[in-house]
Amino acid sequence: MKKNSVQWLFLIGLILMLMYRITARLPFLPEHIYSFHTPKILKILTGLIFIGSAFFLYRKPSKGKSL
């Protein structure tokens, strides 16, 4: 079970890294968004999505549920 979660987390991380690289180089994105550099905002959002997906994958099951 844990191996499957690790594989999902690796796949999500790989996809997020590729999407960050592609999105950061789009020519129509503005250079600054609310006085922040766009790549920094994208990097922060990518990190938050990765952390959120890790919490989602490794959450503890509730005590009331049974398999």
The three-state DSSP-derived secondary structure of the chain is: CHHHHHHHHHHHHHHHHHHHHHHHCCCCCCCEECCEEHHHHHHHHHHHHHHHHHHHHCCCCCCCCCC
Q: Domains of the chain: which residue ranges?
A: 26-60
Mean pLDDT of 21-36: 86
30-57: pLDDT as tens digits: 888 888 888 899 999 999 999 999 998 8
pTM value? 0.74
